[in-house]
Amino acid sequence: MLHHGSCHCGAVRFHLNSEITELTTCDCSLCRKRNAVMAKVPQGALTLTQGEDALSLYQWNTRVAKHYFCSICGLYVFHRKRSAPDHFGVNVFSLDDFDSTKVPIRPADGATMTVEDPSARPDLPGPRRFP
């Protein structure tokens, strides 16, 4: 199934060639603050069609997850997942004409993921592991 999506201002556009059968929310510190509902899709299912130069990358902790935002309007569009680096989490609210009420939502436990960056803020949840 083909889904089209974009950021708020339209600078970043993409499509997904994937059926969306489950959505997730996450309770890690970043996901809680951005309040996104995500669809997990294989990396080959997401195609950026416009605006690669408008994407802004945010990384922290292990730097495995790569969170992409539109540098113009600030909307979170998708991220490469830490728990599954060969998949993307896509903000379903950035998809055109997608009815998220028709798909079950599963909470994901991100708050207990390890914090491995010794400079991470002390108020971030998760067990600490430093070299």
Residue 11's closest CA among 82, 73, 83, 87? Answer: 73
Q: Which of 96, 85, 94, 89 is nearest to 31 (CA)?
A: 89
Looking at the domain assignment, is residue 24 inside a domain? yes
pLDDT category of residue 43 using cuts at 50, 70 and 90? very high
More confident residue, 113 or 9: 9
Query: Rounded CA gap, 51 and 44, in Å?
Result: 18
CATH (domain of 19): 2.170.150.70
Which residues constitute the domain of residue 9?
2-108
Residue-wise pLDDT for 59-100, tens only, equals: 987 788 899 999 999 999 999 987 788 999 999 999 999 999
CA distance 78 to 68: 6
Q: Please determine, for residue 29, whether its predicted confidence score (pLDDT) is greater than 90.
A: no
Note whether residue 26 is domain-resident: yes
In a domain, 69, yes or no: yes
Considering its fold, how many domains does the chain have in total?
1
Does the residue 54 lie in any domain?
yes
Question: Is 131 inside any structural domain?
Answer: no
pTM given for the model: 0.80
Report which of 3, 4, 7 is spatially closest to residue 69, judged by C-alpha positions. Answer: 7
Query: Does residue 59 lie within any of the structural domains?
Result: yes
Determine, yes or no, domain membership for 60: yes
Q: Per the domain annotation, does 37 fall within a domain?
A: yes
